[in-house]
Structures are given as structure tokens and as C-alpha cells.
Amino acid sequence: MSVSTTLPDWPPSLTPEQHSHLILLSSTYALTHGFTLLPPSSSQPPTSAIAAPLSLLPTPFPRGLYDLAVSLQPLYNALYARITLDWDFLDRVMGGSVSKVDTFQGELWRGWKSIREDLVQPLQLGLFRSDYLLHDGEKEGISIKQVEFNTIAASFGALSQRAGEMHKYLSKATNGYFSISPHLSNPSNFPANEPLKNLAAGLAEGWKAYGNKDAVILFVVQDGERNVFDQKWLEFELLESHSIPVIRHTFSELSTLAQIDPTTKNLLLPSPLQPSLPAREVSVIYYRSAYTPTDYPSSAEWSTRLLLETSKAIKCPSMALQLSGAKKIQQVLSEPEVLEDFLLGDHRPDVGFGKGAGSLTQEDVDRLRLTWIGLYPMDNSELGKKAYTLATSQPEKYVLKPQREGGGNNIYRENIPSYLEELAEEDKHKIEGEPEKKEGYILMELIEPPKGLRNLLVKGGENKSRLADIVSELGVYGVSLFGGKQVVNQTAGTLLRTKGRESDEGGVAIGISSIDSPLLVD
């Protein structure tokens, strides 16, 4: 689906006095409502916070494409749940060349394979986020194209809700942003968005399915996390709205604390603060860590991950579900008939749409495919050879992606040929029969966002904005509980991150991207 929407000239003009007033209102709103990050150098316990990077005004987004992205999320939830349950497919895709040339993915796949026959918890929980960019195809108009699908640590749900609430407050407090634009004066252009509420409800569904009202939810977190308030809001929501306590621990702490009952396989955590009390049973393990190699500085962290995986607790995500979010999976899905098999095959389990053929249609398949852009393997197949030619002869049209999460890992445009040469140089020292280094990557056609859109971006902790040519990335959250008779499949809200067009990579914590909200336009 594409639309012929002409995005409005943006932002509308503000007087210096109006601009200063919006800076004051937005910064005080952010600080008083927990729309915050820790400063780059913060003490423990923290004694200060800064406003999260934000946009002074919401950013125009075509209403029809926003509605489309939201409507597709249950389909994507079902797709990735079914991928996760297909061990043969994961073995073929992730257990092949990727596991041999990518150390991190190899450890993840081999670890999962070593313990998967002994798993005692069939239920799996996914808090997903599907990310899209607007694509200006010139002839066909503006459409949305998927950047990636996140199956682990899909962050900023709480802060995204706060961003939308802040923009609504600014509009109400200033007579529709001083009546500078009719788009800003219409409340229906500010979509309802409650990812904090919905993601917490998803974790609560996992807790309820586990079936022990005295159990806790475990957040596995990184050391020195600056995005702690986004996580804390989830913790508060679980406690206040669902009466579910949360315990936070890092991998290093869990390596000495985590215990598994040999009979029940319950995951038990004694309290370091009250060691005389009985250990608490864990119902759900929610990872806001474990997605990057730096989270596993030694073999001890991998051993802890495997220990947690073999427990009775519901994992969010499991190691299999984390593997399903790899870029290589995204690329293989684009190959002929693969998507059809997962969504239309009569042997597929019920993950929220019923079982097998008839629960979904070819129209559903086509709707998903419309959100994809060119994806290619970097192997020695005929398609892989074509990709190599494209990457070296027309690099300005492509991005080279490794199997990584968290941003800052991609190779863009003119940097691709020299990077492939570096990989080829490394291959001169490989053992005969091993795959080439490039097989750990995929090639993706660059999405071309519409040009000419600008906004006022405020870096965290600063009392000024900069006017930037922008690119906005829309994320749609989803909740999926699957693997047993209890099935949940829901859309859970959205996130809009906006950055200056000059930057290929994002990153809210480092100040490149701002947390924004969409202003729907027709």
C-alpha cells in the first residue's frame, strides 16, 4: 500500500518567545513525568536525571500508513512465533554458515541446541517491535518499508508513551501550539498510544500463565544502564496495576544467585538483602540485556543464560525466539514461498490466528510482503553472487547488515566495497571448508525516506533545539504468548524515533535520535 499524501511544510514558524516557552514546558514536563535518562556520568544510586532527547513538535506521518503498520503487527507476531517453534528451519538458517562465521550467533545457536531437548517450559513470551521507515518510491508514492523485527529488549515503550502524552500536553497548554498549524489544533491527529500499559500487561499475561501468584518477574539488565527509567516504568506498572513484584539483576549477579530446584525446575532467587527469607520463585524472565556480545564478556555469562533457559520460568525471549530475530531470518523470509509456508501451511500451530490453512489468507501474505524492500544473502548462491555484484558496483543503494541488535553495526553505501575487501583478506587465513566471512551478513536495499521534512530536536539535558532535516522510524510493539493452549497475540502501541538526516545510525541514549510521536495527516 502506498499513499499520495503530501507531507506538510514542517515545522510551522514559531516566534522566539513561543520557542522558548515550548522549551521550558517540554523540559519541565519531561522531568516531572519521568520522560528521562540518566546523565552520561551518573552516580549509583543516581542523584540526577536529564530529559530524554525529544522533538519539540510531533512529526507528520501519513495516517493510512500508520494504521497499516499497526494492523500488521498481529500477523508479524504470528509469523515470528511460528518461526521460533520450527526447529528444523532455525537449524537450517542459523545453524549453517551464520553460526560458523558469527561467533555470537554461533554461541547462541549451539547453546540452545545443547539444552533444547531438556526444556520444561513450553510457553514463550515475546515483546516485539517491528520498525519501519517511510519510503518515497517517486512513481508509486509514499509507502512503509520494514527495517527490522526485534525479538529481544525492544525498548522505549514507556518513554514513547510519555512522548505522546507530552505533545498532547503542549498542544492543550498553548492553544494548539499557538494555533501555528491546523494539524496541531485537531486532537484526532494525536493518536492514542499506551505501550507502557500494554507491554506491562503482556508481561502480566506471562505471569498469570505461569500459575503461581507468589512468583516474581525477573528483569535481566545491563551494568550501568542509562535507560533505566524506561525499565522502571514497566516495573512500577506491574506492581501498581497487576500487584506483581519485579526483581532486577545483571548476569554477573545471577551467576552467584540463581538456583534451579532439581525436582520442579523452578528458578529460585534468594535475596542478598534478606538472606534469611525463602528464595523467591521466578515466573517470567524479561531480558533487557543479552542481545550483544559485550553482554557476555566471559563463558560465565553464557553458562548463566543456559541455566536460566533450562528453568521452568517463561522466557522473554527464549534463545530460540532471540535467534528468530536475526537479520538472516529476515532475509530468508523474503525468498519465494517461505512466508507462504509459515502463514498458510496447514501444519502450523495456532499462535493467535487459529491453526493451519484458512486461518490466514494470501491477502495477509501480500500485505506483509508490501512492507519489504530488497534483501539478499551474501553467500555463493546465484542470488548471493548477484548481491555481491550489486554491493560492489552500486554500493550507494545498499546497506550491509551483520547479525546484531542495538545499532551502530551496519556498513553503508560507499563503505561496503572496502569492507568486503577486508573480510576477503581475513578469509585468506580461514581453514579449508569453512564459509567465508561475508556469509554472516545480508545486503539490504536502502530505504529512501521523503525529503524536505524538518523538526526541532532537543538533545537530552540541553535547553535549546536544533532545526534538522529529519528521518523518522516508526516502531510497532506486539505481545505474543505462545507454545501452549494459552495464546496471546496483540498490538501494544508505537514508538517514533526521529534523527537528523545526516546520520545513518540511530541511538537515543547517545543523542543521535529523539523520542518523538506521530502527528497523523491525510
274 is known to lie in a ligand binding site:
no
489 is known to lie in a ligand binding site:
no
408 is known to lie in a ligand binding site:
yes
Nearest to 193 by CA among 169, 238, 236, 162: 162
289 is known to lie in a ligand binding site:
yes
281 is known to lie in a ligand binding site:
no
The residue assigned the cell 520498525 is: 131
H or E element, residue 66: helix 63-85
What's the rounded Cα separation, in Å, for the pair 484 and 461?
A: 46
Q: b/e map of 243-260 (b: 16 or more CB within 10 Å)?
A: ebebebbbbebbeebbeb
Segments in 428-488 forming alpha helices (H):
none
Sign of the Cα pseudo-torsion (425, 431, 432, 433, in order): negative
What's the rounded Cα separation, in Å, for the pair 105 and 93?
A: 11
Catalytic residues: 129, 148, 150, 155, 327, 401, 405-406, 497
Contact status, residue 460 vs residue 53, Cβ threshold 8 Å: yes
455 is known to lie in a ligand binding site:
no
Nearest to 477 by CA among 135, 134, 158, 36: 158
Nearest to 164 by CA among 391, 496, 394: 496
416 is known to lie in a ligand binding site:
no
402 is known to lie in a ligand binding site:
yes
290 is known to lie in a ligand binding site:
yes
369 is known to lie in a ligand binding site:
no
Q: What is the CA radius of gyration of the chain?
A: 23
227 is known to lie in a ligand binding site:
yes
155 is known to lie in a ligand binding site:
yes
202 is known to lie in a ligand binding site:
no
422 is known to lie in a ligand binding site:
no
248 is known to lie in a ligand binding site:
no
Q: b/e map of 348-379 (b: 16 or more CB within 10 Å)?
A: bbbbbbeeeeebbeeebbeebeebbbbbbbbb
116 is known to lie in a ligand binding site:
no
H or E element, residue 51: strand 50-51
154 is known to lie in a ligand binding site:
yes
165 is known to lie in a ligand binding site:
no
What's the rounded Cα separation, in Å, for the pair 498 and 507?
A: 10
Sign of the Cα pseudo-torsion (295, 301, 303, 309, in order): negative
110 is known to lie in a ligand binding site:
no
Binding residues: 129, 148, 150, 152-155, 225-227, 231, 288-291, 327, 401-410, 412, 444-447, 473, 497, 499, 505, 508-509
Binding residues for substrate: 129, 152-155, 225-227, 231, 288-291, 497, 508-509
Binding residues for Mg(2+): 148, 150, 405
Binding residues for ATP: 148, 327, 401-410, 412, 444-447, 473, 499, 505
